[in-house]
Structure 1
Amino acid sequence: MALTVRFHEHGGPEVLRLDDVDPGRPGPGEVLVRVDAIGINRAEALFRAGQYIEPVKQFPALLGTEAAGVVEALGPRVGGLEPGQAVSVVPAFSQNDYGVYAERAVVPARALLPRPQDVDAVSGAAVWMPYLTAYGAMAEVTGLRPGDVAVVTAASSGVGLAALHTAARLGATPVAVTRTPAKADRLRAEGAAEVVVSAEQDVARRVLELTGGRGAAAVFDAVAGPGVIDLARAVAPGGTLLLWGAQSGRPTPYPGFELGMPALNVRTYTVHETTRDPDRLRRAAAYVASGLRDGAFRAVVDRLFPLTEVAVAHRYLDSGERFGKVVVTVRH
């Protein structure tokens, strides 16, 4: 048996329960993992609340797609892994099928990456989702190039910080957007060439000033909602407004017609575009691993919570106070 976080109804963090559950044996293509640390993400909070892009199919529901641990057992037709091996779990599956908020969890082998010896469990649970998301969006989708300007909203989130680091490593100029000035200095320390405070500045106007009127090659937005119309004004002709989150929770209009049909690319993106495509995942994992080796990339962890305080961790996640990742640790 294993302590496993489940929820029996939609709601706030208070609906999360710790149930004693048999994780089962791994089937074909699956692996049983002893979980040591869990990366907490907005997608899980939205899934819990019934606001995620994928609805919950049945209750009680599992939760979690990012973790680090050790392989305990292999199912049939699993190669390249062995019991006792340190691994990270990346978001490559539906939470309707698997969940890693647990002491032990069965996951698909395709969602596992070997964890280097110098990457501990906390870092291994915090580093992959943000950087796989950023690399896939920036390198694979928008083709960000050296000399480009990349604008990142919600820049103090785990994905936002990874995006700043990734843009810099690709040779682009990262511009961070944050709601208040409280995090501005920390964002500069994380490599933001400029910080725009949205509560005090007109974001589009400031980006246009920074780029000599041309605009940014790409804007990576985690907020969505009505603000996309103003953000679209900050995109250079032929550039891309990429929506990889919807933190506003409000309807998102298409900005092209209101702005006079400019040469604007608008698209949505999730990390699954990278993690569920074997070739893209291979390239992304190699790129992130090289960034970890040369020090360009690292896990930025805000706070740790024990598994027994997972509801508190979700409450902190919902507060918007974090700078980087929230991680839950598991004691065995």
Structure 2
Amino acid sequence: MSRVVIFDETGGPEVLHVVDEPAGEPGPGEVRVRIEAFAVNRLDALVRAGTAPMPARLPHARLGCEGTGTIDAVGPGVEGLAEGDAVLITAVPDMTAGGTYAETVVLPAARVIERPAGLGATEAAALWVAYSTAYGALVEKAGTRPGDHVLITAASGTVGLAALQIARQIGAVPLAVSRHAAKRDALLAAGAAAVVATDEEDVVEATRRHTGGAGADVVLDSVMGPGLAALANATRRFTGTLVTVGWLDPRPAPYPGNAITTHRYMSFEHTLDPVAVRRIAAFLRAGLRTGALHPAVDRVFALEDVVAAHRYLEEGQQGPGKIVVTAG
């Protein structure tokens, strides 16, 4: 049997509960992973609350789009993977039907990769979604180059912190945006070349000051909302790129008509492509080896405390790093 987190109706964290279910056997081309740890993502909370673009398959819906563990069963036709291999889960075909909030999960073998050597389970659980999203947006979508000025909103969030590190690894110049000047020192310590605190300064004026008047070559935005227009004005005209990766502000955010390139990026664009996954994995392994990338964990909960983990996320007091739940 396997403990699994489910919910039968949408709502607050209290709708989540743990049940026992058969672990399931892998079919052709599938593996079963015994989960050691998984991260709690903002998308999970949106799905649970019924406010995400994807509807939950109620009742008996599940959560979780990333995790790490060891393979404990291999289906027919699977090559290159064996029982006992430590892996990262890179994508879940339908998380409300087979999400990673569980002790075991069965999924296609193509959706796991080798866990980077030397990375513990809790740190590994904090790696994939944040860093693959930041990589995909900055490298695959925006084509960030050494020397580019990269403006990163919600920089103290998990994708923002990953983007600071990835920009540094590329050789770009990361400029962090935060609503609070009190976070300036922490963001500078995290790798930002400069911090724009919007409770003290205008984002357009500050960005132009830090870029010699030109504007940012790349803007990575996790917020959306009406502030998107200001970010467009902070982007270098004609050659700049604005990529949005989140929707922390639910208010309308019409895409700007400025003379810049704009993209709406969803990580599944690349995490469902095995060729792109190999590029992402190679980039992340290189950054982990050199120390350029270092996933942070804010707080760890046990599986039976998953309701508390979601409450902690919604309180908004999360420090730098991911909320991780251990399942083993």
TM-score category (smaller protein): over 0.9
Provide the residue aligned with 2:303 in structure 1: 307
- Residue 205 (structure 2) pairs with residue 205 (structure 1): yes
Provide the residue aligned with 1:164 in structure 2: 164
> What amino acid is aligned across from residue 139 of structure 2 in structure 1?
A
Q: Give the Cα–Cα distance (whole angstroms) in 1 for the partners of residues 210 and 242 of structure 2.
A: 17
> What amino acid is aligned across from residue 245 of structure 2 in structure 1?
W
Structure 1 gaps of 5+ residues are 257-261
After superposition, residues 79-118 of structure 1 pair within 5 angstroms as 79-118=79-118
- Residue 237 (structure 2) pairs with residue 239 (structure 1): no
Residue of 280, 285, 289 corresponding to 2:285:
289
After superposition, residues 33-52 of structure 1 pair within 5 angstroms as 33-52=33-52
Q: Give the Cα–Cα distance (whole angstroms) in 1 for the partners of residues 21 and 71 of structure 2.
A: 18
Q: What secondary structure does 1:150 align onto? A: strand
Provide the residue aligned with 1:65 in structure 2: 65
Provide the residue aligned with 1:227 in structure 2: 227
Provide the residue aligned with 1:329 in structure 2: 326
> What amino acid is aligned across from residue 39 of structure 1 in structure 2?
A
CA RMSD in angstroms comes to 1.3
> What amino acid is aligned across from residue 295 of structure 2 in structure 1?
A
> What amino acid is aligned across from residue 52 of structure 1 in structure 2?
A
Q: What secondary structure does 2:220 align onto? A: strand
Contact 2:92 2:98 in 1 (8 A): no
Contact 2:70 2:84 in 1 (8 A): yes
Provide the residue aligned with 1:259 in structure 2: none
TM-score scaled to structure 1, two decimals? 0.95
Shift of 1:150: 0.4
% identity of equivalent residues: 47
Contact 2:5 2:102 in 1 (8 A): yes
* CA gap 1:236/1:320 in 2 versus in 1, 3 angstroms: same
Contact 1:225 1:251 in 2 (8 A): yes
Give CA deviations for 1:231-286 in whole Å, capped at 9, x if unaligned. Answer: 11111012111110001122221221xxxxx3111211111112111111111110
Provide the residue aligned with 1:255 in structure 2: 256
Contact 2:92 2:107 in 1 (8 A): no
> What amino acid is aligned across from residue 314 of structure 1 in structure 2?
H
TM-score scaled to structure 2, two decimals? 0.96
Q: Give the Cα–Cα distance (whole angstroms) in 2 for the partners of residues 24 and 96 of structure 1.
A: 16
Shift of 1:88: 1.2
Contact 1:89 1:125 in 2 (8 A): no
Shift of 1:153: 0.8
Contact 1:92 1:110 in 2 (8 A): no
Q: What secondary structure does 1:87 align onto? A: strand
Residue of 276, 294, 314 corresponding to 1:298:
294
Q: Give the Cα–Cα distance (whole angstroms) in 2 for the partners of residues 301 and 95 of structure 1.
A: 23
Contact 1:33 1:73 in 2 (8 A): yes
Q: What secondary structure does 1:297 align onto? A: coil
- Residue 53 (structure 2) pairs with residue 53 (structure 1): yes
Structure 2 gaps of 5+ residues are none
Q: Give the Cα–Cα distance (whole angstroms) in 2 for the partners of residues 191 and 100 of structure 1.
A: 31
Shift of 1:92: 4.6
Shift of 1:114: 0.8
Give CA deviations for 1:13-61 in whole Å, capped at 9, x if unaligned. Answer: 1111111122311122221111111111111111111122222233211
> What amino acid is aligned across from residue 329 of structure 1 in structure 2?
T
Give CA deviations for 1:62-90 in whole Å, capped at 9, x if unaligned. Answer: 10011111101012222111001111112
